[in-house]
Chains A and B, each alone.
Chain A
Amino acid sequence: MYSDKIVLTLDWGANMTEKNEKTVINVNCMNKVFWIPDEPKTTAEKIKNILFRKKKDKHIIKDVSFEIKQGEMVGYIGVNGAGKSTTIKMLTGIYPPTSGTIKCLDLDPFKQRMKYVKDIGVVFGNRELLNYDIAPKYSLELYGAVYGLPKKIAEKRYTEFAKRLKVSHLMDTPVRKLSLGEKMKFNIIASLLHKPKIVYLDEPTIGLDVVAREEMIKFLAEINKKEDTTIILTTHNMDDIEELCKRIIIIDDGKKIYDGPLKAVKDVYANWKRITLVFSEKKAPFMHKFEIFEKTNDLMIFKCPNEKLKDTLDKITECFEIVDLKIEEPKLKEVVKRIYLDKKVEIDAKCN
């Protein structure tokens, strides 16, 4: 199983060499340690804490290294609290790494922020880029001025994007009256207005419905193709990036645990479905060798390999009086767990 991954990773490497694209992001042994408040325990400590806050270190990012080439679309994924947003904030120059180096477009994002940010676009899924009280048009005009774009060019660009994302009719509607999906579309327009070389999207799909998510993904793929924009997208949902990113970086507890093609992860670590079956009656014995997650008198949740899915569904209809049937992709947490297990097997094999 592990050797499959290596072959695919090597394939990926070969493709990258063939293209010989310029490296736009180079991260080397990046670490980030935050100071967080430490709860005082004794009364003396509590009194002292009023004036001198007791703090402790929290290691958020641990020795992360990677390179991203121009025009790549990379998914940076991890469960909540894995360190995705912290990485994006360091890559966008909001704060520096505690140790290690970051070079983006040959610049230090933190030290050369003003030079660097003119070539990047950033969308934070849970932070509004537009003024809440007024129509998005005015915020877009402001961003045009911030990047020194001539008014006509800025207007042409945001009108074109708005048309493409089907939000032209909302240009004069105050942001507070827009839906989450519409707001996100305008945030994306604002981040692309100045033709950035790199676009960072930090959880852009939070709260979006399927239609809005798909429209956004299609639009980003188009921009990537048309303008050769490098796109880095963070998410805690692998489905978000399936249509968008060929390469993914998985981060867990601040450590990079996978960097390679999404297909490899799908084929090797997510090659099964979670089937939730609710039934009223058992018509025939259900013979299987699947891993069972949960089983009661009228419910069964089990893991079914993708290649056996069709046969299994046929069997289920034969054996059960179905009340409800749910087929789900494995959760990212489960994928991460399997990658860890594989790494452990690899380390054990090396030790022996």
Chain B
Amino acid sequence: MLNVIKKEWNVFIEYTKLQLMAYLEYPLNFLVGFVWTCVALIPMYFFWNALLTSGVDINYNQTTIILYYLFTIGFFYSGGFFKSLRQEIIKGTIVTTLVRKIRLENYFVYNAIATVLISRFLIGIVIVIAGIYFVGLQSLLGVLFFIFGLIIGATIYSILIAIGFWTGESWGYFYVTSIIINLVGGSIIPLDLFPIFWQKIIAYTPFSLMFYVPAKIYLGELTITPWLIFAYVAWAVVLYLILNKMISLGLKRFEQLGG
């Protein structure tokens, strides 16, 4: 068992290394990602600043709302990040992975995690520094839980990718679902600003664990309980099992004519 975990860890590290090398080939991407985050933060700042100065009473002040958005926009990822993985099924390049000793589900999840980690690395440093400065060392736990949430997010997107076995070209539902995931994940609006009814419903889904919960831990407003850890583990296992089943069914449908 330990050997399997060690081997899988090595494979994940190698995929991450590969992504990093590919990313470094185009170093401008790091800068573009960084600038994109800053630009996306500006309208958020003006909008929430106007709202808060007008006397609207929400659970956030100017610092916490900016920190919240620095975290969720800085660590933001959506369906577009996994375009190349999605196209592997449509273009048939997935065959080069199928002949390797790696589970297709692991291949999707590892690559999705590696893509986000590498692309968010630079802004991640800013998030960590800002967290330590404004909140304290406990904000680091928020970053750690973001990584746990990323495992869940990567598995969810891998499930969406696997739907490509049935639908072929899949960009339409992929992007629509992606927007919904980000909305109910708390990266567009903090979930505690939603009506109570919707908050209760969203609490039963894994999406809040992707952005909202880690952001609240980052702000020092949420205590980590064994139940929370259990929710992360349980959702990761359930989603992985769904992905596993979908891939085994999808591969039975996979057809690719010619060389």
Contact = CB atoms under 8 A, between A and B. Distances in A.
A202 B101 contact: no
B170 to A, nearest CB: 15
A127 B100 contact: no
Contact of B251 (A58, A95, A129): A95
A127 B257 CA distance: 14
A35 interface: yes
Contact of B258 (A81, A131, A135): A81
A78 B81 CA distance: 41
A131 B92 CA distance: 16
Contact of A125 (B21, B255, B259): B259
A314 B74 CA distance: 80
Nearest to B258: A85
Interface residues of A, number: 46
B251 A36 contact: no
Given A113-B98, A126-B259, A127-B93, A141 B25 contact: no
Interface string A55-83: 00010100000000000000000000100
Interface string A174-218: 100000000000000000001000001011000000000000000
Contacts of A139: 18
A2 interface: no
B83 to A, nearest CB: 15
Interface residues of B, number: 30
Interface string B79-110: 00000000000001101101111110000000
A34 B257 contact: yes
B13 interface: yes
Contact of B21 (A120, A129, A135, A143): A135
A229 interface: no
Contact of B257 (A60, A114, A117, A126): A60
B22 A147 contact: no
A154 to B, nearest CB: 10
Contacts of A81: 258
B101 A146 contact: yes
B200 interface: no
A227 interface: no
A148 interface: yes
Interface stretch (A19-27, A86-94, A239-247, A255-263): A86-94
From B22, B92, B101, B256, residue with most partner A Cβ within 10 Å? B101
Contacts of A35: 255
A134 B17 CA distance: 11
B13 to A, nearest CB: 7
Interface string A140-160: 011101111000000000000
Report the 5 A-B pairs with minimum CB-CB distance, sorted nearest first.
A122-B99, A142-B14, A85-B259, A134-B21, A145-B14
